[in-house]
Amino acid sequence: MDTPPLNPPVTVLRLGHRPSRDVRVSTHLLLAARALGARRAMYTGVHDQGLEESVRKVCADWGGSFTIEHAPSWRRVMSEWEGEIVHLTMYGLPIRDCIEKIRCNSSEKLIVVGGSKVPGEVYGLADWNVAVTGQPHSEVSALAVFLHELYEGKELALIHPEARLRVVPTAHGKRVEDVSSDL
C-alpha cells in the first residue's frame, strides 16, 4: 500500500553545484531529499546531465514521483517562490527553537542548501535561516535532520509508488526484491 504524500510539500534548492568537486555530495543530497519526503529538487551552478540521470535512475528503480531540474538562477527561484523559504545554515536559529512554527505553516517549502560559498543575499531572501547544529557539518546531514524534524518521523515509513525494487528488512545480511511483476 502506498503512503500519502507528506505535508507540507518540500522542494530542495541546491546552490552552486560543481561537477568536478560536488558530484557525490550533490547526488547524496538529492537522494536524501527523495528518500526523506521531498517532492522535487532544483540545483544551480553547472548543468549536470549525469547528476540528473543518476537521480532519475534511482526514481525508476525505487519509485516515487520525485523530480529534478537545473535552475539557471537561484535568485530568480527564491524571489519568485510563493511559499516559505528555509535556508539551512549553521549560522541560523537553532532548529528546536523554530521547527514548530515552520511545521505549522502549511505552505510549500523551499529548502535552500549551500554548496560553495553562499551569497549573503540568500540569508535576506529566506523566511527562516535554520541551524541543525552550530558545528561544521554537511548539507546532506542538515537536510536529513531538518526533514526528519519537519515530518516528525513520518518520512521514515514512506513507500514509494511504482517501485521496481524494495528492501526486505532483515536483521542480518541484505535482501532486495524485484516487485515490478506485482505492478
DSSP string, the chain: -PPPPPSS-EEEEEEEE-HHHHHHHHHHHHHHHHHTT--EEEEEES--HHHHHHHHHHHHHH----EEEE-S-HHHHHHH--SEEEEEEEEEEEHHHHHHHHHH--S-EEEEE-SSSPPHHHHHH-SEEEES-SS---HHHHHHHHHHHHTTTGGGG---TT-SEEE---SSS--EEE-GGG-
In angstroms, rounded to a whole number, what is the distance separating the alpha carbons of residues 48 and 24?
12
Query: Is residue 110 assigned to a domain?
Result: yes
pLDDT by residue, tens only, the chain of 183 residues: 456 678 999 999 999 998 888 879 999 999 999 999 999 999 999 999 999 999 999 999 999 899 999 999 999 999 999 999 999 999 999 999 999 999 999 999 999 999 778 999 999 999 999 999 999 999 999 999 999 999 999 999 998 878 999 999 999 999 999 998 665
The pLDDT of residue 22: 80
The count of domains in the chain is 1
Residue 25 lies in a domain: yes
For the domain that residue 101 is a member of, what is the CATH number? Answer: 3.40.1280.10
* 4 falls within a domain: no
Please report whether residue 47 resides in a domain: yes
Question: What is the pTM for the complete model shown?
Answer: 0.93
Q: Tell me, what's the pLDDT at 161?
A: 72
Q: Which domain holds residue 143?
A: 10-182
